[in-house]
Amino acid sequence: MMKRNRLKITIISIFVGLLVGAFILLAVGFNPLEAYAIMIRGIFGKPKYISWTIIKSTPLILTGISVAFAFRTGLFNIGAEGQFIIGALVATLVGYFWNLPPVIHAIVAILMACLAAAIWAGLAGFLKARFGVNEVITTIMLNWIALYLSNAIVFWDKFKRPNSEASQKILETASIRFPKGINFLGDFFRAPVNWGFIIAIIAAILIRHILKNTTLGYQLRAVGFNSDAAEYGGIDVKKNIVISMAIAGALSGLAGAVHVLGVTEEVSVLAAMEGNGFDGIAVSLIAANSSIGCIFAGLLFGGLKYGGYKIQPAMGAPSEIINIVIGIIVFFISMPKLIEMLTTLRVRRKRGGEIESK
Amino acid sequence: MSKMKKILALLMIAVLAFTVVGCSGGDKADDAEKPAEQTEGEDNEATDEQLKITMVTDVGGVNDQSFNQSAWEGLQKADKDLGTKSDYQESHQDADFVPNLETALDAENDLIWGIGFKLADAVKAAAEENPDAKYAIVDFSYGDKTPDNVVGVVFKQEQPSFLVGYIAAMMSETGKVGFVGGMESEVITAFDYGYHAGVAYANKVADKDVKVLRQYAEAFDDPAKGKAIANSMYQQGADIVFHAAGGTGDGVIEAAKEQDKYAIGVDRDQNDLAPDNVITSAMKRVDVGVYNVVKDLKEGKFPGGTTVVYGLEEGAVDIAPTSDKHVPKEILDKVEEIKKLIIDGEIKVPVDEDSYEEYLKTLE
């Protein structure tokens, strides 16, 4: 019953978002139906567009799961952005400097990226567990440290590609792209289709399994519900906070790794945050913190971003308007979830174990 | 139960609102269809005349007060003068370049622009995959490896930098001037050493001893950092600071305004940002470059496979026209002479550290 309600609220929110976006388009003199038609054609018009939507969505799904996982255990991971950057950086370093056979190279690069991002996020978890420093503050600060660290390393002579603002490309052996020249499904495989989406689905199922069916998941959730009660129940709260942040970090690092190994094949100097991690927060909100839900929320979000921006050149609307409309849609989609979640969190904190015992 | 009712009510409102929008949207669609048909008709009649052109921005976006904006202004001018039809697509991260270029290709454009050297790889790959489409890129040269359907457009940014360097050295009262760079790259390095060479030239011919303070902000979009760097330069005794740092430079100009010192703008005439403080600007007319290539295409002379280099001679780089507000006439007259020397090749303006060292030797 509860679940069905949630789905309903989400779907209504999407409609309200599209509706308000339509009013804004109308107000500035553009036909919203035409605009949305362009967006939908931009996503489904060709097999290639569908594959691009999936490619764009993959990192968002993973950062979404990362934020959702942390939230389920009572932590607000705003550091997905920085963890993504660290994951991307380490995957590129391993992908370029190490010489390993195909497949193994990619797996090692992914694992190293996850490990590095897990340590990165685990640091915020440690600071919270040991000194009580709020993870919101530390993860935001770690985002900037990650950004500048990544830039500093990209500027390193041995790593930087001459005459560019990017690193060297990863070796062929580290790539997780599907081989070129697959010709069925029209031009579906013209885009850099890769294993990332499948990895993201596996990650979603794995996280769901950990949370639902394992002792670790039970402990993590217990800490999320009410840390005092959990401690009273004999759970090591501090350890669980660190573990939770580390897993969340590993997921965001995985997002960065599949993005590099599957799509960009390099990291470039970042003038600003790219937003893969911040969008993950929105994805997690839309999905109501369900890891499986993040797959669909990520696809929705990726579709909005990939198809939505096609409205601009086709209709000649200023890009600011399109940004506002996409922003409004996202805002309405995530808003009810946010309110719902904040109220339940307050109730949880107030009533503690009561809900858990239900 | 009451929850269900609320949801039902919400749904009803949503449906109602949608039908309303649907109606008005429908009306609009009718209205919109007519002109759309007309333009289509025009297209059919004059396919060989109305060219469709698009540009993909880099992550700065189309209103960056800098080269993306300038490129878009060039295309808009082409729309007006040459009857082309232009649009643009913004990139929000580096990973957007490839799909944006694909979208541009699918929209059947006659010419696709990549704005900025960050798009170099993506443009080359797209051009090689689609030999029938035409591409152009700003601020990058593929040299001998330029595909036949690509034009590179580069600017001699070191030339106007040399001129403003000369002006800065001649006008400095403290004997110190500053340079704030965005991120180190081939383009910004050319600004940097062109400016240094201009100062060195002034030191030589006017027997001065002006020193240059230099710092890179490592960002093109951080005005706060630009301001902090400029402030510290002014405190160290510099009285004129030149920036080649995009949005970061807005902070440099703000610092000049607050401290009542001088600044030198970049890319376009930035005097409007601080009329009493921006004495001149090293202008790089990306709009001129973009417009000229579109014009060539229209006249059937698309210079595919080559790199077009724009300098002082072509009028695509220069100092700002508002320079006479602050810079004394004697100095501007000198600048005109120096321009001729550069065009004639008497002065070879350096573009990087090595050529700068060589240039210093010729001064001795």
For B226-244, b/e burial (b = at least 16 CB within 10 A) is bbbbbbebbeeebbbbbbb
Q: Is A271 on the interface with B (CB under 8 A)?
A: yes
What pLDDT sits at residue B360? Answer: 92
CA atoms A299, B124, A271, A328: torsion sign: negative
Q: pLDDT value at position A110? A: 96
Given a cut of 90, whether residue B8 has pLDDT beyond it is no
Q: Which two tokens stand for residue A308?
A: 């939505």
Strand partners, B283: B267, B318
Measured between CB atoms, which of B11, B29, B107 is closest to A31? Answer: B29
Chain B contact for A263 (CB, 8 A cutoff): yes
Query: Is the CB of residue B124 less than 8 Å from the CB of residue B147?
Result: yes
Confidence band for B247, pLDDT divided at 50, 70 and 90: confident
Q: Domain for residue A177, yes or no?
A: yes
Residue A348: the pLDDT is 64
What confidence score (pLDDT) does residue B320 get? Answer: 92
pLDDT at A72 over 60: yes
Question: Is the pLDDT score of B35 beyond 70?
Answer: no
- Which of B8, B15, B30, B89 has the most A C-beta neighbours within 10 Å, making it the best mutation to test the interface with A? B89
Give me the number of domains chain A comprises: 1
Given a cut of 50, is residue A219 above it in pLDDT?
yes
pTM across the whole model: 0.77
Which pLDDT value is given to residue B26? 38
What b/e sequence results for A139-163 when a residue is b if at least 16 CB atoms lie within 10 Å of its CB, and e otherwise?
A: beebbeebbebbbebbeeeebbeee
For chain A, how far is it from start to end, CA to CA, in angstroms?
15
pLDDT, mean over chain A: 86
Confidence bin at A77 (pLDDT 50/70/90)? very high
Residues 196-225 of B with CB under 8 A from A: 218-221
What are the tokens at B112?
Answer: 């696709």
Residues in chain A: 358
Residue A311 lies in a domain: yes
Q: What is the pLDDT of residue B135?
A: 95
Q: Does B6 touch chain A (CB under 8 A)?
A: no
Whether the pLDDT of residue A325 is over 50: the answer is yes
User: Please, which residues 49-78 of chain B have a Cβ atom closer than 8 Å to chain A?
Assistant: 54, 59, 61-62
Residue A26 amino acid letter: L
- Which element (helix H / strand E) includes B201? helix B186-205
Q: Does the pLDDT at position B20 exceed 70? A: no
> What tens digit of pLDDT does each residue of B91-131 get?
888 889 999 999 999 889 999 999 988 899 899 999 999 99
pLDDT-derived band at B18, boundaries 50, 70, 90: very low
3-class DSSP assignment, residue B131: coil
Domain B52-155+288-310 superfamily per CATH: Response regulator (3.40.50.2300)
**B227: confidence class by pLDDT, cuts 50, 70, 90:** very high
CA distance A118 to chain B (A): 24
Kindly report, residue by residue over A237-247, the tens digit of the pLDDT: 889 999 999 99
pLDDT digits 0-9 by tens, A90-113: 999 999 999 999 899 999 999 999
- Tell me, yes or no, whether A34 lies in a domain: no
Q: How far is CA A145 from CA A83, B168, B225, B277, in A?
A: 10, 36, 16, 35
The pLDDT-based confidence of B31 (bands split at 50, 70, 90) is very low
**pLDDT tier, A15 (very low <50, low <70, confident <90, very high otherwise):** confident
pLDDT at B13: 52
CA distance B347 to A285: 61
Considering A24-33, A57-66, A230-239, the range whose residues carry the highest mean pLDDT is A57-66
State the residue range of the domain holding A218.
45-317
Check which CATH number belongs to the domain holding A221 and give it: 1.10.3470
DSSP label at residue B273: G
Q: How far is B273 from chain A (nearest CA, A)?
A: 22
Instruction: Report the range of poorest mean pLDDT among A201-205, A251-255, A338-342, B189-193.
Output: A338-342
Q: Minimal Cα–Cα distance from B87 to chain A, Å?
A: 5
- Interface confidence (ipTM) of the complex: 0.77
Domain range summary for chain B, segments of one domain joined by +: 52-155+288-310, 158-283+328-363
Which residues does chain B have within 8 Å of residue A156's beta carbon, measured at their own beta carbons? none
Mean pLDDT in residue range B32-56: 55
Confirm whether A10 is domain-assigned. Answer: no
Q: State pLDDT tens for residues A151-207.
A: 999 988 889 887 777 899 999 899 888 877 676 666 777 788 899 999 999 999 999
CATH number of B158-283+328-363: 3.40.50.2300
> B309-325 burial string, b = 16+ CB within 10 Å, else e?
ebbbeeebbbbbebbee
> A8–B24: do the CB atoms touch at under 8 Å?
no
Q: What is the pLDDT of residue B5?
A: 56
Matching fold, domains B52-155+288-310 and B158-283+328-363: yes
Q: In the A/B pair of chains, how many CB contacts fall below 8 A? A: 105
Instruction: Give me the pLDDT at residue B3, please.
Output: 53
pLDDT computed for residue A109 by the predictor = 96
Question: How high is the pLDDT of residue A339?
Answer: 59
